[in-house]
Amino acid sequence: ALGAQAAVHAALGRPSSALKAAREVHEAVKGQKRSEAAALLAVADAFPGSRDGLAAAKEAVAAFQDLGDKSGEGAAMIALAFAHGDQADRQFDDSLRAAKGAAELFKAAGDSGGEALALSTASRAAALKEDTQEASRLAKEALAAFQRLGLKVGQQYASDLISDAPFSWMQQTGARLLFDEDQLAHVEINETATQDSLESIVSTLHHYHSREKFKHVKGLVFHVEGTPAPTRLHSYAMSTGTFLIGIRTLGLPVVSCCWGTISGPSWGLALIGDYRIASADTQFQLPVLRPLECLAELLGPSNAAHLTMDNGTLSAASALEMGIFHQVQKDKEWASKSAKEQSKRISNFPVLASRQTLTLMTPDAEKYIFVR
């Protein structure tokens, strides 16, 4: 019952409670060597990022060694690899060494499934260490092993590791909200923005927006850095478009500027503006696999068809000719400066007139969601 309780806590994302329940299991089976080793493994799995989890993983490795159980020792080594990688001081070398050791143990025991799992863990450790070549090599070995076993879930997991390997150095970052002396709000963002930062931006803007008829915020400027990232780094609000809806429901004029490589959810960020600016070196990746629901309404049916059906890259100059953007500036500094000046001009118009124009000329806010 205590073991089931630990599993439930872990599934609900309560590592501290899961660790406490797993410890109680360990206390209950002390003196029974095999059960004690399994309980130590459960403690390690309950909260890998804790010091207790790391210590338990090391004890589990030693306990299975004493029993001569290579598969059990391999499982404990995988837990040890996760524990090293999840520590606050990030012990990536130790994590990779433990995962590779687990693969050797499973191989010696003739456990192909365990070996494939250990290779996947080693790939993850190499990715965290920012060794993209090693991460890709280990993931390919894991994929081959899962294919031999016919395990579809394992094949998908290993395939995801292979596709993520070039982006192993990337982590989620927080979007930033800044205010200037002209009562403009500036959002600095890319597609790896965290869920918390996006929710905070929308909440803050709605708070200011509701006070004294736009006295505090007259317009929004989006500074969009095009940084393609794997889907694991896309928050829910970013991947679905709910963040864009939250911004559009403000009813404020939005000017967007972008640079870098625009693909995936970055398309939504670049197109959120009522007035759109790009730097000359911006590259736009086609096709747009999950376009905004209002794409045809924003850019016209012909442009929408081109963006969603063509393959390759689109230059900023071509995007300007197509009418997707209103300006192209020589670099990101000039694009950001131009976006601010344009927003100042727009915000000088009376609030009611601006809002009426937005209502007449832009799609409804709920249409700024990504098509599934």
User: What pLDDT is recorded for position 9?
Assistant: 44
DSSP strand pairing (283-286 vs 312-315):
antiparallel
Omega cis (within 30) before 15: no
User: Do residues 319 and 353 lie in contact, with contact meaning Cβ atoms separated by under 8 Å?
Assistant: no
The phi and psi torsions of 229 (rounded to 5 degrees) equal -145, 155
- pLDDT tens across 321-363, in order? 999 999 999 999 999 999 999 999 988 876 656 666 665 567 8
Residue 272 host element (H or E): none
The overall pTM is greater than 0.75: no
Give the C-alpha separation, 141 to 130, whole Å.
18
3-state secondary structure at position 278: strand
Average pLDDT, whole number, for the chain? 87
Give the C-alpha separation, 153 to 39, whole Å.
27
User: What pLDDT is recorded for position 163?
Assistant: 82
User: What pLDDT is recorded for position 290?
Assistant: 87
| Residues of the chain falling short of pLDDT 50 | 1-2, 8-9, 213-214
Would you give the distance in Å from CA 257 to the centre of its chain? Answer: 22
- pLDDT tens across 34-61, in order? 888 888 888 888 888 888 889 999 999 9
Residue 177's CB is within 10 A of a number of other CB atoms, namely 17
